[in-house]
Structure 1
Amino acid sequence: MPSSKREAGIAQLGFLLGNCGVKVALTSESCYKGLPKKVNPSSTFSAPSGSTSLTGTSNEIVDFRGWPQLWWAVTEHMSKPSRDWTAPPRLADETIAYIEYTTGNDGTVKGVCVTRQAVFAHCRALTTAMEYKEDETMVCVVDFKREVGLWHAILASVFNGIKVIFVPYSLMKMNPATWMHMVSKYQATTALVKSRDLHWALLATRDHKDINLSSLRTLLVADGANPWSLSSCDAFVASFSAAPYSLRADAMCPCAGSSETGT
């Protein structure tokens, strides 16, 4: 956890925690005491049910802008497992790993059950197709809770040990070229975007300074089924393939997929 408001990526981490619905944070006592706090006497935030070893009070809130309200569990205060404790049995491969929501042709919401076996098979397939390697960096602009964002930026990244930079749309609205600056800064090899991100980036000409996309091996356009997608891809490559941007023409990769079939 960050110990200062000035640490890099702190707003991005708060965005990620909020979107994932995180309510509890584990930390050490020394770290918790050093966190900046503010007093909020009117707060009605209560500890999650069943959590008896949480520290802090409802009016002691860590003062990180953009962060959700969290209860902080100090690990030193937690009870230790008994001596006869044993690890639970390994889950079977057929066990459901997660349920991903999608919509049918009539607009109804439905859940797609994905087993552990399917997750590992999917991750291995993506790793082979995308040539993912450990310690690479990925920039993600799409929704990381489903489809391409979930498969690549969460599952495949954990499977391969890839660092992921998540760019929230609140930043994209202010500066549509933000994701390109992240690619340039961190020398990302993969970027997950939509065709609208390419279109907006083309229009943000005043923000194109200091952009270098030569590190990109794959620019994955998640809405490849969109009829406007290919024209956006062609226009983006035409504008950014020349120096000083140096985008490889073969890096552009429009794709289409579904929760039922993967991509």
Structure 2
Amino acid sequence: MRLANLNAYKLTPATRGTSSWNTQATAIREISPDILALQEVVIDENTTSRDSWDDEAASLIKDLAEQCGLTTSVEASDGHPHGTAMAANWHRPWWTALMWNPDTVELVEGSYRPFGAPDYWHGCTTASFDVGAREPILSAAQVNDGRGGRRYYDTEPYTDMHHDDMESQVRVGTIGTTQLAARRPTEALLRKGYMVDAAAHLGAPWEPTVGRWEDGRGDPDPWGPRRIDLILASRSVAPALTGYQAHLSAAAKEASDHLPVYADFVPSKISGER
């Protein structure tokens, strides 16, 4: 089984049929995920009325899923009549979504939950999948430093940086001084082995997911190469992980300012531990 994560560079309705759309679809098909987490679907709030945001986003997400041989369909409800596994902060037309291969995994009925304001800036899409088992910020994951100690799997990327938006990415109280990366969200998730960072857990070679695009191409990235696209596995799934990597194909490099990442796992090795 393969779970992948892609931050699509500002995927909008106008993107349909463009080279960007085609390279994104190509990269997804190359990865051939069983489950795909998608971020940064955007609707133009200046040209689309607020009551049409959900419909436009749902249509776009469904079109991309269909082109990639995936589905994103969930049971429609009064609160979510679009029938699409997606979520947004109510005040901003930016969506996340889930897609999956219906031939290999099955959505657990009633498990889809969208979360938005005030807890999430873009929205958080959650769902449970039956994968045939017997029974989703810079990471805070640590590895051996080779000298008998421990170090962060991701090194500090911001110590020499100076930028107006730095406060969103560094620890409070370090702006203008040491500028240490904000790791509290992943520290909480990784605490006491509740989850593991798939890359660090497997000892995968470090690979940045952002910081590749130059000035004049999309939005310039002033912070340099760093890994801010993570796949975290719960304690019960960690023993089933078999591989992790960033997808480095030509299509993936062209499709977005974020490289897609994916992790492979063996469903039969998922433990019953909670």
Q: Which structure: larger Rg?
A: 1
TM-score, L = length of structure 1: 0.29
TM-score, L = length of structure 2: 0.28
Kindly indicate which of the two structures has a greater share of residues assigned to strand. Answer: 2
